[in-house]
């Protein structure tokens, strides 16, 4: 079976700067792959290369013939002068029946939103509607660029369960970008750590303990990441150099209570 | 019936109003207001060229408006700030146009007629051009509507669905140039942008879908055209500006209704 997507040495420039400097990756059918990486590391650019919005400067991108992509962008600014109901939005660019629209909304936990204006939705509802629209194309590949932004924690946990469930029902592959490292790791088959190029990839546990990954996320990420590592320390008992990361966080908290 | 100059004027205004409305909506949604201006101002240069080379005004204006629109489209992808670029283009185009007109010797040109239009002088062949152009623009927009709308919403969403946003922008540019070329006789270059924008802006508060907004804008455009013509007869005012004045009054009324409605809603929810 051929890969859905294969990138070899893909290079891309934005605003005169080389953002992707040789990305190699392969995505198989039905796989859930997560891209992690610091801000500005080219994650969104990579997604845009795959949908064909950013031209390659070098290397190659091969897509399976007839590949249908459902795309949820990181940002979608709807101009306030554009009146757009949820129902109408779901019918872009291909018109869908009322039944199909209702079913897609129901699927993502957004039943009954049809009549609302896109501009009036809450952040979480908006993300759900974006996902519903992406599903309506019956995609072979779902591309989600930080799709859980604006969702509360239970909401994003539900979201990842939904992704898993959708993969089973629709058999689609999922390529997603996320900063919620602890949740993402649990939800994906494979993790790619990106910083202009793929610095490391593999099963979540493997990536989390890779030195390249540590180099990128090792310091200054006391929050969710420390929590994640904490849990994993107990599971695997691997690596003692984490205490380093915890210390500044504690100092920080003490500083706050003193003040 | 077409022998009556008033009937011809009414039909001409109606044609322009109907074609400009949905196009104007796209222009508003894409924040291209100045794009319409720039294209329209370039039309004066088109008038000068058509007189110099003995072409029909329609052809000259179409060619210049189209080149201008394409030039702006291309340059805007090269990192220039769009508003600056359009300002430069719009004003220099009209200046070059006026200078060029002064070079065309032998022909006395009624410049006012091109700046403000001369709807009462519309002839049968003009009507044919206007309605032909309007039908072409409406057909083009209907055909590309879904793709245009998706590309307007977000170019990346369009790409992911296999729509080329650049091509859609080209379609829009073409339609814009066409409307400018057919409308120059009716409202003139200074007011074409107004006919694009004002009915669309006035329609916004009354619409919940893009199509509804285009329809309401078309109604407002038609009412402005016919009402403005009538008003110019009653008050003996210049017709093109009267049409735009009426559109502006409608916009004001629509905004008022919107403000009042919002206030009523706000009050309602506070009372709960
Ligand atoms: N339209 C653009 N023009 C010029 N440079 C851009 C453009 N979009 C992104 N960049 C630059 O490309 C780099 C990669 O951006 P990208 O959006 O891919 O990062 P990211 O990994 O998605 O970051 P984040 O986690 O903040 O979403 C950044 O340095 C950014 O400044
Ligand atoms: Mg991003």
Query: What's the pLDDT tens digit per position in A47-62?
Result: 999 999 999 998 899 9
What residues of chain B, 83 to 142, have a C-beta less than 8 Å from chain A? none
Query: Could you report the per-residue pLDDT of B31-50, keeping only the tens digit for each?
Result: 887 777 888 888 888 888 88
Q: What is the pLDDT of residue A11?
A: 92
- DSSP secondary structure string, chain A? ---SEEEEEEEEEETTEEEEEEEEEEE-TT-EEEEE--TTSSHHHHHHHHHTSS--SEEEEEE-TT--EEEE-S--PPPTTS--BHHHHHTSSS---HHHHHHHHHHTT-TT-TTSBGGGS-HHHHHHHHHHHHHHT--SEEEEESTTTT--HHHHHHHHHHHHHHHHHH--EEEEE-S-HHHHHHH-SEEEEESSSEEEEESHHHHHT-HHHHHHHSSS-TTHHHHHHHHHHHHH---STTHHHHHHHHHHHHHHHH-
3-state SS, residue B209: coil
Query: In the predicted model, is pLDDT for residue A253 greater than 90?
Result: no
d(CA A108, CA A130): 10
Query: In the predicted model, is pLDDT for residue A74 greater than 80?
Result: yes
Which among A83, A84, A85 is the top mutation candidate for probing chain B, defined by the most B β-carbons within 10 Å of its own β-carbon?
A83
Q: What is the pLDDT of residue B40?
A: 82
Interface check for A51 against chain B (CB to CB < 8 A): the answer is: yes
Q: What is the pLDDT of residue B151?
A: 94
Task: Scan for tokens 């060619």, then name that residue.
Answer: B63
Nearest to B157 among A73, A95, A117 (CB): A73
The answer to whether B160 contacts A92, with C-beta atoms less than 8 Å apart, is no
d(CA A129, CA A117): 11
Nearest to B213 among A71, A83, A117 (CB): A83
Q: What is the pLDDT of residue B106?
A: 63
Which residues from A are below 8 Å from B208, CB to CB?
Answer: 83, 85, 117
> With 0-12 CB in 10 A as exposed, 13-18 as middle and 19+ as buried, what is B190?
buried
CA B234 to chain centre: 26
Which among B160, B197, B216, B255 is the top mutation candidate for probing chain A, defined by the most A β-carbons within 10 Å of its own β-carbon?
B160
**Neighbouring residues of B247: CB distance < 8 A, sequence distance ≥ 6:** B194, B195, B198, B199, B202, B220, B221, B224, B228
Q: Do the Cβ atoms of A32 and A56 come closer than 8 Å?
A: no
Q: Give the mean pLDDT of A60-85.
A: 91
Per-residue pLDDT of chain B (272 residues; tens, 9 = 90+): 677 888 999 999 999 999 999 999 999 999 887 777 888 888 888 888 888 888 888 888 889 888 887 887 777 666 677 778 888 888 888 888 888 878 776 666 677 778 888 888 888 888 999 999 999 999 999 999 999 999 999 999 999 999 999 899 889 988 988 998 888 888 888 788 889 999 999 999 999 999 999 999 999 999 999 999 999 999 999 888 899 999 999 999 999 999 998 888 875 544 43
**Neighbouring residues of A141: CB distance < 8 A, sequence distance ≥ 6:** A4, A5, A27, A67, A68, A69, A70, A172, A173, A174, A175
The complex's ipTM works out to: 0.84
Q: What percent of chain A has pLDDT over 70?
A: 83
d(CA B162, CA B147): 10
Q: First CA to last CA across chain B, in angstroms?
A: 59
- How many Cα atoms sit within 13 Å of A167 on the Cβ side? 21
The answer to whether A84 contacts B146, with C-beta atoms less than 8 Å apart, is no
The more confident residue out of B216 and A106 is B216
Nearest to B29 among A82, A95, A137 (CB): A82
Tokens linked to B71:
């030039």
Q: What is the pLDDT of residue B47?
A: 84
Tokens linked to B25:
């909506």
d(CA A245, CA A44): 28
Cis omega (within 30 of 0) for bond into B241: no
Interface check for A126 against chain B (CB to CB < 8 A): the answer is: no
* Residue A224: band (very low, low, confident or very high) from pLDDT cuts 50, 70, 90: very low
Q: What is the pLDDT of residue B211?
A: 95
Q: What is the pLDDT of residue B267?
A: 59
Which among A122-126, A236-240, B163-167, B264-268 has the top mean pLDDT?
A: B163-167
The more confident residue out of B45 and A99 is A99
Lowest mean pLDDT of A15-24, A128-137, A249-258, B143-152, name the range: A249-258
Interface check for A14 against chain B (CB to CB < 8 A): the answer is: no
Q: What is the pLDDT of residue B37?
A: 80
* Residue A149: band (very low, low, confident or very high) from pLDDT cuts 50, 70, 90: confident
Which of A45, A53, A74 should be mutated for ligand 1, with most atoms under 8 A from CB?
Answer: A45
3-state SS, residue B104: coil
* Residue A229: band (very low, low, confident or very high) from pLDDT cuts 50, 70, 90: very low
Q: What is the pTM of this model?
A: 0.84
Starting at the earlier edge strand, list the strands of the sheet with A17-27.
A17-27, A5-14, A58-63
Query: In the predicted model, is pLDDT for residue A110 greater than 70?
Result: yes
Q: What is the pLDDT of residue B210?
A: 95
Query: In the predicted model, is pLDDT for residue A235 greater than 70?
Result: no
| Chain B residue whose CA is closest to A70 | B160
B258, B261, B266, B267: CA torsion to nearest 10: 140
- Helix (H), strand (E) at residue B270: helix B239-271
Between the CA of A181 and the centroid of ligand 2 the distance, in Å, is 15
* Residue A248: band (very low, low, confident or very high) from pLDDT cuts 50, 70, 90: very low
Q: What is the pLDDT of residue B79?
A: 65
d(CA A195, CA A22): 10
Across-strand partners of A198? A194
Q: What is the pLDDT of residue B1?
A: 66
Q: What is the pLDDT of residue A123?
A: 84
Q: What is the pLDDT of residue B188?
A: 86
Q: Do the Cβ atoms of A51 and A143 come closer than 8 Å?
A: yes
A17-27 vs A5-14, strand pairing mode:
antiparallel
- How many Cα atoms sit within 13 Å of B139 on the Cβ side? 7
Which among A120-129, A223-232, B59-68, B149-158 has the top mean pLDDT?
A: B149-158
DSSP character at residue B108:
-
* Residue A218: band (very low, low, confident or very high) from pLDDT cuts 50, 70, 90: low
Chain-wide mean pLDDT for chain A?
Answer: 80
- DSSP secondary structure string, B77-100? TTT--HHHHHHHHHHHHHHHHHHH
Taking CA B32 as the corner, what is the angle to CA B26 and CA B37, rounded to the nearest 5 degrees? 110
d(CA B222, CA A74): 41
Number of helices and strands in chain B (H, E):
11, 0
Which of A14, A51, A146, A192 should be mutated for ligand 1, with most atoms under 8 A from CB?
Answer: A14
What residues of chain A, 81 to 120, have a C-beta less than 8 Å from chain B? 81-85, 88-89, 92-95, 117
Query: In the predicted model, is pLDDT for residue A240 greater than 50?
Result: no
Across-strand partners of A177? A35, A145
Query: Is the beta carbon of A40 within 6 A of some atom in ligand 1?
Result: yes
The answer to whether B159 contacts A81, with C-beta atoms less than 8 Å apart, is no
B53, B58, B64, B68: CA torsion to nearest 10: 180
Which among B27, B80, B157 is the top mutation candidate for probing chain A, defined by the most A β-carbons within 10 Å of its own β-carbon?
B157
Which residues from A are below 8 Å from B153, CB to CB?
Answer: 76, 78, 82, 84, 89, 92
> With 0-12 CB in 10 A as exposed, 13-18 as middle and 19+ as buried, what is A60?
exposed
Query: In the predicted model, is pLDDT for residue A256 greater than 70?
Result: no
Q: Do the Cβ atoms of B193 and B243 come closer than 8 Å?
A: no
Query: In the predicted model, is pLDDT for residue A219 greater than 60?
Result: no
Q: What is the pLDDT of residue A44?
A: 93
Task: Scan for tokens 């984490």, then name that residue.
Answer: A242
Q: What is the pLDDT of residue A88?
A: 95
Tell me the nearest-neighbour CA distance from B231 into chain A, angstroms: 30
């Amino acid at each position: 079976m051929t890969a859905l997507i294969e990138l070899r040495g893909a290079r891309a420039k934005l605003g005169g700067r080389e953002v992707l400097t040789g990305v190699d990756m392969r995505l198989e059918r039905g796989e859930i792959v997560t891209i992690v990486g610091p801000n500005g590391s080219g994650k969104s650019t990579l997604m845009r290369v795959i949908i064909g919005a950013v031209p390659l400067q070098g290397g190659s991108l091969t897509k399976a013939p007839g590949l249908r992509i459902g795309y949820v962008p990181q940002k979608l600014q709807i101009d306030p002068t554009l009146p757009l109901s949820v129902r109408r939005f779901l019918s872009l660019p291909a018109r869908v029946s009322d039944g199909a629209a209702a079913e897609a909304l129901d699927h993502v936990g957004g039943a009954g939103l049809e009549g609302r204006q896109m501009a009036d939705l809450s952040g979480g509802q908006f993300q759900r509607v974006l996902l519903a629209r992406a599903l309506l194309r019956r995609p072979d590949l779902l591309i989600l660029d930080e799709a859980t932004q604006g969702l509360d924690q239970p909401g994003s946990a539900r979201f990842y369960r939904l992704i898993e469930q959708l993969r089973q029902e629709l058999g689609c592959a999922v390529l997603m970008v996320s900063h919620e490292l602890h949740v993402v790791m649990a939800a994906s088959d494979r993790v790619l750590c990106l910083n202009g190029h793929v610095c490391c990839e593999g099963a979540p546990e493997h990536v989390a303990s890779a030195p390249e990954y540590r180099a990128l996320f090792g310091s200054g990420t006391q929050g969710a990441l420390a929590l994640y590592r904490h849990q994993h320390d107990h599971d695997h008992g691997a690596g003692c150099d984490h205490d380093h990361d915890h210390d500044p966080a504690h100092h920080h908290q003490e500083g706050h209570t003193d003040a | 019936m077409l022998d009556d100059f008033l009937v011809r004027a009414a039909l001409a205004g109606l044609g322009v109003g109907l074609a400009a409305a949905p196009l104007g909506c796209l222009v508003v949604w894409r924040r291209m207001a100045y794009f319409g201006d720039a294209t329209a101002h370039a039309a004066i240069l088109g008038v000068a060229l058509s007189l110099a080379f003995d072409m029909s005004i329609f052809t000259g204006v179409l060619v210049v408006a189209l080149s201008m629109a394409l030039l702006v489209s291309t340059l805007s992808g090269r990192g220039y700030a769009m508003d600056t670029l359009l300002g430069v283009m719009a004003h220099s185009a009209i200046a070059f146009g006026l200078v060029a007109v002064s070079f065309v010797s032998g022909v006395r040109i009624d410049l006012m007629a091109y700046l403000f239009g001369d709807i009462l002088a519309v002839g049968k062949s003009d009507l044919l051009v206007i309605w032909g152009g309007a039908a072409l623009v409406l057909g083009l927009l209907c055909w590309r509507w879904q793709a245009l709308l998706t590309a307007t919403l977000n170019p990346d969403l369009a790409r992911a669905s296999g729509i080329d946003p650049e091509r859609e922008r080209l379609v829009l540019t073409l339609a814009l140039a066409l409307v400018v070329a057919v409308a120059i006789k009716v409202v003139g270059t200074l007011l074409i942008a107004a006919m694009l924008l004002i009915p669309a802006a006035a329609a916004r508060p009354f619409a919940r879908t893009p199509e509804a907004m285009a329809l309401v804008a078309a109604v407002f455009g038609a009412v402005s055209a016919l009402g403005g013509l009538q008003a110019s007869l009653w008050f003996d005012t210049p017709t093109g500006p009267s049409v735009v004045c009426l559109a502006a009054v409608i916009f004001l009324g629509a905004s008022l209704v919107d403000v009042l409605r919002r206030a009523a809603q706000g009050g309602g929810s506070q009372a709960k």
